Structure 1
């Protein structure tokens, strides 16, 4: 039995996924889902974190997945490149799959270590560069192209940006849209949630890492404004912000300063997001920049209407006034859109049903996994065919 398993492992190409860290987040959820659900007889997986990984890694259920933390300090670290090179020489992966700007430069290191296939995915842009115009970063993206076989944007917006701004060749610009588990994230007639709200409450909810690009400060400000504008509904209005991150303390302080502690719930990072979403009435995503946000796909799959910033790939997912309401990055507009939903249950129901249908039609987990598997298969067949040949016992 053990020898058979060893042969199977030797026959399956290894994919190394390189991320900045492995903690609660949309990209990380997507990565874990891909590892868990990709056909187990096709590829092995390992996850390398430039910094660290948390208990979130326990969500990986695929047997045999190894985790590594390089403990990268702030700034540029040549030592980490050396450590990564040594690790690649030891693991001998067939594919390196990097995620976002912080990991991209390691495609060069992997090439030097003899990794035959290198893929780089961009899942969104930073708050400091929401339109992706930073010349230094784009210079790096463009000049690493000889060492990257495919760039994978997750939205039409990011694919256009790769083509028109970064100037990535069309042959290397490979769109794969994010997908969601429509069985786990689905409408429920009877939902039980751990949130401290009552059945008659109108709950505005957000699920996102608490960092500047997600713009939680504007959501808290808009919620306070909403309570002022709708005094008749004031006692039913609630806000849930699920997530942790570098600005969590700042958001806590903002809530306290506004005197909203009794009506705003800040539980931090949670493992039961699918359950918590069913306690929401409206989903809010006031981000400054986005790719195709996984949290939005999950909320829509649960049949929630959404109020979102009109940025990045969001307008590709949410058609304004069909699946949700799109607004400029502005507190007053956010409060006004939330007020429309708060006062109109029929509109909420109509948009929520349309949102669920949209996810089933365009953003399934099966379609995403099929696209990644096909990409891996094609590049391996072209660049590392020997690693795909079955091993025959003599």
Structure 2
């Protein structure tokens, strides 16, 4: 057996390897774990996109099970045979979509099994849906360790699902504070030519444009600011939403119907998120549910004040009155008020942004995240700790 083959293999099972916070966290983790400790393979229930090119570590096998829409009973057999072929020492599933694989992994002889909770979706915002809770409780005995990206999810796993506290570890996402940094000079010009005006006030957001992210509330808050004033003038006010998804068309239609299309830029998915963030004045995250948002951390690392909804893990990242503002979900009026404050109070945006950047450097580094995952993996595989 070669040295490479003797290195323990971890299979990371996810729904699809595409643009998203969970997927970004997985790529960051693989890129920052010590390369000689574990081998990695990614099994995608559906498939992958060019997002896989962000993996910097060579030799990562990416397998697509090609699950069909709805109930595809055949995908269970394909997944079982894939696990039998790979023979991993450990499987790490993520979120409800991957949890059923814990049963197949046990049947395939995968002895060590980890499950991560990264946030709830639109179908079960508060984790209370009976059949989903029942599924989690039934599969719980098969899982050796849980990882929760927020305290909210950690408490829910223990109090609602019944996981043993000693088998649950809270590991927050990390952020690349070298790639995401404050602008060093004048604001970057973003959007099409002529989109940015003199002293523009740019409201920015980044994320999948799915219902759970609720960008429509941000669009309505933007239109309220244009209509009612009291904040940035229409000549200065701009809206930027980076990301693609089923709600993008509806947002564009609402902006167009209001005559505000020229003041907004919704370009779809982009690979240049870091420089685009440096062109923003404030960052808004209007989600209905969240784990520990990567984009919020990236905005904080970029020196931006963050306005986020008071849901899930957001209160663990955004400190109201210190690094940003928390608002109720689905409330465009309060969201508009929070945005308006950053224009009418001189220096507030810069002050909150500086504190946000400082907090990222102190608490949310990629190295800290990778070391925390490594400790969980080592504890299960009984790998000796790294010396030095």
Please give the TM-score of this superposition, normalised by the length of structure 2. 0.94
In structure 2, distance between residues paired with 1:345 and 1:46: 50
Q: Deviations over 1:31-74 (max 9, x none)?
A: 11111111111111111111111111111111000111111112
Which secondary structure state, in structure 2, belongs to the residue aligned with residue 333 of structure 1?
A: helix
Decide whether the 8 Å contact of 1:16 with 1:95 is kept in 2: yes
2:381 aligns to what?
380
2:261 aligns to what?
261
Which secondary structure state, in structure 1, belongs to the residue aligned with residue 2 of structure 2?
A: helix
2:304 aligns to what?
304
Decide whether the 8 Å contact of 1:193 with 1:275 is kept in 2: no
2:224 aligns to what?
225
Please give the residue correspondences for 1:352-391 in structure 2 after superposition, counting only pairs within 5 Å: 352-381=353-382
Please give the residue correspondences for 1:2-21 in structure 2 after superposition, counting only pairs within 5 Å: 7-21=2-16
After the TM superposition, which of the residue ranges 170-179 and 103-112 deviates more from structure 2?
A: 170-179
1:347 aligns to what?
348
2:85 aligns to what?
90
Which secondary structure state, in structure 2, belongs to the residue aligned with residue 127 of structure 1?
A: coil
* Runs of at least 4 residues off by over 6 Å: none
1:290 aligns to what?
290
Please give the residue correspondences for 1:323-342 in structure 2 after superposition, counting only pairs within 5 Å: 323-329=323-329, 330-342=331-343
In structure 1, distance between residues paired with 2:346 and 2:283: 14
Using the TM superposition, give the Cα deviation of residue 199 of structure 1 relative to its aligned residue in structure 2, in angstroms. Answer: 5.1
Which secondary structure state, in structure 1, belongs to the residue aligned with residue 115 of structure 2?
A: strand
Using the TM superposition, give the Cα deviation of residue 11 of structure 1 relative to its aligned residue in structure 2, in angstroms. Answer: 2.3
In structure 1, distance between residues paired with 2:3 and 2:265: 48
In structure 2, distance between residues paired with 1:259 and 1:120: 47
In structure 2, distance between residues paired with 1:319 and 1:34: 26
Using the TM superposition, give the Cα deviation of residue 155 of structure 1 relative to its aligned residue in structure 2, in angstroms. Answer: 0.5
In structure 1, distance between residues paired with 2:285 and 2:274: 17
Is the aligned partner of 1:135 residue 2:130?
Answer: yes
1:33 to 28, 39, 55: 28
Q: Deviations over 1:107-137 (max 9, x none)?
A: 1101110111111111111123211111110
Is the aligned partner of 1:117 residue 2:112?
Answer: yes
2:236 aligns to what?
236
Q: Deviations over 1:205-228 (max 9, x none)?
A: 000100011110000000000112
In structure 1, distance between residues paired with 2:71 and 2:269: 29
Using the TM superposition, give the Cα deviation of residue 171 of structure 1 relative to its aligned residue in structure 2, in angstroms. Answer: 2.3
Decide whether the 8 Å contact of 2:197 with 2:235 is kept in 1: no
Is the aligned partner of 1:201 residue 2:197?
Answer: no
Which secondary structure state, in structure 1, belongs to the residue aligned with residue 181 of structure 2?
A: coil
Equivalenced residue count is: 378
2:53 aligns to what?
58
Which secondary structure state, in structure 2, belongs to the residue aligned with residue 144 of structure 1?
A: helix
Decide whether the 8 Å contact of 1:18 with 1:96 is kept in 2: yes
Q: Deviations over 1:247-300 (max 9, x none)?
A: 222222222122221011011111111111101100000110111100000000
In structure 1, distance between residues paired with 2:96 and 2:17: 15
In structure 2, distance between residues paired with 1:11 and 1:182: 34
Q: Deviations over 1:301-355 (max 9, x none)?
A: 1110011101111111111111101111111110110110122340101111111
In structure 1, distance between residues paired with 2:346 and 2:204: 16
Decide whether the 8 Å contact of 2:174 with 2:366 is kept in 1: yes
Using the TM superposition, give the Cα deviation of residue 375 of structure 1 relative to its aligned residue in structure 2, in angstroms. Answer: 0.6
2:144 aligns to what?
149
In structure 2, distance between residues paired with 1:125 and 1:342: 33
Going from structure 1 to structure 2, the CA distance change for 1:164 and 1:69 (only over 3 Å counts) comes to same
In structure 2, distance between residues paired with 1:34 and 1:51: 21
Using the TM superposition, give the Cα deviation of residue 151 of structure 1 relative to its aligned residue in structure 2, in angstroms. Answer: 1.2
Going from structure 1 to structure 2, the CA distance change for 1:199 and 1:40 (only over 3 Å counts) comes to farther
Which secondary structure state, in structure 2, belongs to the residue aligned with residue 97 of structure 1?
A: strand
Q: Deviations over 1:344-382 (max 9, x none)?
A: 34010111111111111111111100000111111011x
RMSD after superposition: 1.5
Where structure 2 has 5 or more consecutive residues not aligned to the other structure, the ranges are none
Which secondary structure state, in structure 1, belongs to the residue aligned with residue 152 of structure 2?
A: helix
